[in-house]
Amino acid sequence: MTKKETAQEIGKILDNLYTELPIPLDHKDPYTLLIAVLLSAQCTDKRVNMITPELFALADNPFDMAGQPVETVREIIRPCGLSAQKAKAIVKLSNILIEKYEGKVPAEMDLLEELPGVGHKTASVVMVQAFGKPAFPVDTHIHRLAYRWKLSTGKSVAKTEKDLKKVFPEDEWDRRHLQMIFFGREYCPARGHKPEECPICSKYGRKGMK
């Protein structure tokens, strides 16, 4: 069975398991999504969703956020971790959005990646979830599962992204990205589940992996 054929069969299982795909991070527009995804680095989506209501009550747009003291932002987002770096990035990128883009979040990957605190994965999430443009964000769950399911070599997140884009059709990227996140959270061995209990690993997983 080729990787594309395996991916097709895995896709069928994912579609049966996850018919509804809510976006994990609460937001109301591209800007609030951008900030939420930035905060999610090394932090759970659940915790981010607990913190953003207070942050967005303070400022939910770049014009209001740009004028906030970094320390004020830092105190609110402290539970997310890396609060010093993230607070500086949030205030700085808000100023950049005003200066360069009239307060709007650019809908281009390379422009997003130029913003402070915005890496490739963050930019990919914004591209697909805010603007509906094809992207395949890869987080640790997806990186791990792609290797476990023999869809990628697992050498790097960048390589995993390229591999997954090859085996899944472009119009499935957004759906597969979310499904793999939900699947990883539910069946990942790191959370106490055994590979033989996994409806995909039991059929398509690498042998000998725990």
- Which residue out of 3, 88, 139, 165 is catalytically annotated? 139
73 token code pair: 């932002």
Q: What proportion of the chain, given as a percentage, has pLDDT over 70?
A: 93
Annotated catalytic residue 26: no
CATH topology (fold) of 3-21+136-204: Endonuclease Iii, domain 2 (1.10.1670)
Q: What pLDDT band is residue 193 in, cutting at 50, 70 and 90? A: low
Annotated catalytic residue 121: yes
Angle among Cα 31, 35, 36 to the nearest 5 degrees reads: 115
CATH topology (fold) of 30-131: Endonuclease III; domain 1 (1.10.340)
Name the pTM for this structure: 0.86
Domain with CATH 1.10.340.30 in the chain: 30-131
> Does 177 have pLDDT greater than 90?
yes
pLDDT digits (tens, 9 = 90+) for 97-126: 999 999 999 999 999 999 999 999 999 999
pLDDT of residue 44: 87
pLDDT of residue 5: 93
pLDDT of residue 163: 95
- Which residue out of 60, 86, 121, 163 is catalytically annotated? 121
pLDDT digits (tens, 9 = 90+) for 20-63: 888 889 999 999 999 999 999 888 899 999 999 999 999 999 99
Place of tokens 């959270």: 185
Angle among Cα 129, 59, 67 to the nearest 5 degrees reads: 120
Domain with CATH 1.10.1670.10 in the chain: 3-21+136-204
CA 100 from chain centre, in angstroms, equals 25
DSSP structural state of residue 191: G
Report whether 130 contacts 34 (CB < 8 A). Answer: yes
